[in-house]
Amino acid sequence: MVKRVSTRRARARKVDTCKEATSLIIDYLNDELKPETTLSFERHLGMCSDCVAFLNTYKKTIQITQSFLRKKT
């Protein structure tokens, strides 16, 4: 009998592809990644300008949203 235990959440993830990197951006910005995953994520950014651009776009979007909310209050 094989027990299937889901360890996906607890285990640090290796970021090899852009798909993985982009799926981690929100957690990365929220500082919710494991240190190892953050390292792996940043390593991917170091060699992938596409994901850097995507991250910057994402950050900008958040900034715009936040300043918009601030203006309203």
Does residue number 51 form part of the binding site for Zn ion (CB under 5 A)? yes
H helix runs in the chain, sequence order = 18-29, 35-47, 49-72
Residues 48 and 53: their CA atoms lie apart, in Å, by 9
Residues 16 and 64: their CA atoms lie apart, in Å, by 30
Given 11, 12, 18, 67, the residue binding Zn ion (CB under 5 A): 18
Given 13, 38, 48, 52, the residue binding Zn ion (CB under 5 A): 48
Q: Which is nearer to Zn ion, 18 or 29 (by Cβ)?
A: 18
Applying CB under 5 A, which residues contact Zn ion? Answer: 18, 21, 48, 50-51
